[in-house]
Chain A
Amino acid sequence: MNTEDIIKEVNSIFIDVLDNDGIIVQYNTTSDDIEEWDSLNHIQLVVAIEKYFKIRFTAAEIVNFNNVGEMCEAIKVKTLAQ
């Protein structure tokens, strides 16, 4: 799976977790761009993504991602390593 495909899948996880059909995430999307994406929802997003891709993020990763794209790059590396 390439980064674009992963972003698409992550988009549907955002829609589901944040309960908002209108959300569109792109490589450069950050939490500033999405109103519902606060620190509590971030936890739910991380757990939902971990479950979906069957991966684990580290404590450092989840605070250091600058945007959706970086998160998806990390997902790509982790899924490839499986």
Chain B
Amino acid sequence: MLSFSQLKKNLKKEDAQLKNIKISILSENAGQLVTIALKGYGVEFGYNFEINECGYNELNLQVFEPESQLYSVQSDYIIIIPSVQKLLNQFYKKPIQERNVFATEHISYMEEIIHTISSKSNAKIILFNYLEINDGVFGNFSAKLDISFITQLRKINVAISELAQITKNLFINDIVSLQTQFGTAFIIDNKFYINSDIAFSLDFLPHLAKNTLDIIKSIEGKINKCLVLDLDNTLWGGIIGDDGVEGIQVGQLGIGKAFTELQQWFKQLKERGIILTICSKNTEAIAKEPFINHPEMVLKLDDIAVFIANWETKVDNIRHIQSILNIGFDSMVFIDDNPFERNLVKENIPQIHAPDLPEDPSDYLNFLRALNLFETASFTSEDSERTHLYQEDAKRQVFKKSFLNEGEYLAGLAMTSKIESFNKFNIPRVAQLTVRSNQFNLRTKRYSEVEIEQIANSKKHTCMSFTLSDKFGDHGLIAVVILEMKNPNDLFIDTWLMSCRVLKRGMESFVLNKIVSIAKELGCEKVIGEYIPTPKNEIVSNHYKDLGFKAIDDFWYLKVEDYRKRKTYIN
């Protein structure tokens, strides 16, 4: 973890490459140090945070006054840091007999704050929950008493989570989890709180900044998607090649328990949508044996999307895994107990995350949990199907080898696509795709669910989502197109993105046929596309050219009347 001083020194770095993000901060304690830590941490991840510090302890004024500083800039994010000390003061002002409804009253105040901000701003709101302070007035009895501060405080924190569940643009910075991890004495330096109303210690601020960045990065689409796991002494104790299935340590006894609990965690991540892959220096048949025959293995072969065990280097094998999954190295996490392997991988694939594990396997799980490697800004039912989708892909690759001709293969897949406008069932997935798709994404415009709803209801826009299924399975929703009528003649492609799982299947032609037929229905003469380059979407740099668009300046034009319907194998 970087120190506060290092973060502060980052502020002096000048880097034109940084992405600008506007953040307003509403803090009930003195917030200047939080601003410095956040800005410094942002630089580490390629962001230039323009921070609008809105007063100090002026939550009411800033939120409810229409002309306040908060609304003076168009923030991308609004961060609210309430003060538990101030909450406690309010609590003490209440007569004892009214304290049982303190939480109920306070949460309706917080709801009003969130609703007011949402009605005046499109910013995503990041709300800190309250640090837990037990004032100790009733001792342990506090936890049994409805008029105690800790009981009311915990109710408020639960209610904040419930509010976030029904408010799409509200995200929680779960500072209570950080408190559980670090302890109050580490988080608060009392003398600075007393002298200057500074809520967080200098040593804690980098952790707080990281946690906030984790949320922002996930909303901006920087997330980890895949775990690459070593086997010997990582998933189980011992060496399978030497010790055999009976000899490796996994299960409830001894050190085996550490590996069992670690596997349980990986399994939960898989069920949440993280792709599990294996990369091991082993003979394949021997490496797979525990997954098939060991009664106490939590992970089974079914849980693994790509299983690679051979004697090649891990660097080559990870590159191979990356090419099969078609995801960025920067979204992969490599877990290996061997520092030599980790360093070799890090040297050759610097983008990959390869955390240095602690020496003792019993420390692995808590260490990995604390890194917060798998932050996410959304969860949809399709996420939990992901491993299955990649396994179907592997079957397609085998099927493809039985054809000499690309066309015959595509025809043999018996592909069908369902086209729908945006509706309440697909909006979460559509928004998620706009945030997560990096490669096949022409303009990389990120949209929240709220924004997608607005576009869906707009008369100027035509929205389409495409599914794709074939004889091997259903890919689900894999392409999103948003068309905007710029004027009666021009139909502009605001968004065209596709999942990289369906490349080379003729989906582009199928989608373009549909776009042109819409243009005809609307009476437009031209379809206009734009390619905005990013470090990750090189793959579509020639997209419009390949589809017959003509370039004029920075835009691509297609005349509707000249268009000849493209051949596809999709129905």
Q: Which residues of A contact B (CB under 8 A)?
A: 16-17, 19, 39-40, 43-44, 47-48, 57-59, 62-63
Contact = CB atoms under 8 A, between A and B. Distances in A.
A17 B5 contact: yes
A75 to B, nearest CB: 16
B195 A62 contact: yes
The binding surface of chain B is classed by DSSP as: helix
B4 A63 contact: no
Interface in B1-59: 4-5, 8-9, 12, 32-33, 36
Contacts of B195: 59, 62-63
Give 6 closest A-B pairs by Cβ, nearest first. Answer: A59-B191, A59-B194, A47-B202, A59-B195, A63-B195, A40-B32
A58 B191 contact: yes
B469 to A, nearest CB: 59
A59 B8 CA distance: 24
Given A40-B32, A43-B202, 19 more contacts: A17-B5, A39-B196, A40-B33, A40-B36, A43-B33, A43-B192, A43-B196, A43-B198, A44-B4, A44-B8, A44-B202, A47-B201, A47-B202, A57-B191, A59-B190, A59-B191, A59-B195, A62-B195, A63-B195
Contacts of B202: 43-44, 47
A39 B4 CA distance: 16
Contacts of B9: 19
20 contacts: A16-B5, A17-B5, A19-B12, A39-B196, A40-B32, A40-B33, A40-B36, A43-B198, A43-B202, A44-B4, A44-B8, A44-B202, A47-B189, A47-B201, A47-B203, A48-B5, A57-B191, A59-B190, A59-B191, A62-B191
Q: Which of B36, B191, B194: most chain A Cβ within 10 A?
A: B191
Interface in B184-241: 189-192, 194-196, 198, 201-203
Contacts of B203: 47
Interface in B473-489: none
B42 to A, nearest CB: 18
Nearest to B193: A59
B159 to A, nearest CB: 34
A58 B189 CA distance: 11
Contacts of B8: 44
A44 B37 CA distance: 12
Nearest to B8: A44
A40 B201 CA distance: 12
A21 B9 CA distance: 15
Contacts of A40: 32-33, 36
A59 B12 CA distance: 31
Nearest to B203: A47
Interface string B255-267: 0000000000000
B186 to A, nearest CB: 13
Contacts of B201: 47
Interface in B318-369: none
A59 B188 CA distance: 13
A62 B36 CA distance: 22
Contacts of A39: 196
Q: Which of A47, A48, A58: most chain B Cβ within 10 A?
A: A47
Q: Which of A16, A17, A43, A58: most chain B Cβ within 10 A?
A: A43
Contacts of B36: 40
Nearest to A40: B32
Contacts of A62: 191, 195
A69 B194 CA distance: 24
A63 B198 CA distance: 14
Contacts of B189: 47
Nearest to B201: A47
B436 to A, nearest CB: 38
Interface in B155-207: 189-192, 194-196, 198, 201-203
Contacts of A43: 33, 192, 196, 198, 202
A22 to B, nearest CB: 16
A48 B8 CA distance: 14
B103 to A, nearest CB: 31
A58 B32 CA distance: 22
A8 B462 CA distance: 70
A31 B9 CA distance: 21
Contacts of B198: 43
Interface string B513-550: 00000000000000000000000000000000000000
Nearest to A63: B195
Contacts of A47: 189, 201-203
Contacts of A59: 190-191, 194-195
A62 B9 CA distance: 24
B231 to A, nearest CB: 42
A19 B9 CA distance: 8
Interface in B355-395: none
B5 A44 contact: yes
B274 to A, nearest CB: 38
Contacts of A58: 191
Nearest to A16: B5
A17 B12 CA distance: 14
B476 to A, nearest CB: 51
A63 B191 CA distance: 10
Q: Which of B4, B190, B196, B198: most chain A Cβ within 10 A?
A: B196
Contacts of B5: 16-17, 44, 48
A47 B203 CA distance: 9
A10 to B, nearest CB: 16
A62 B192 CA distance: 9
Nearest to B36: A40
Contacts of A17: 5
Nearest to A59: B191
A47 B5 CA distance: 11
A15 B328 CA distance: 42
Contacts of A48: 5
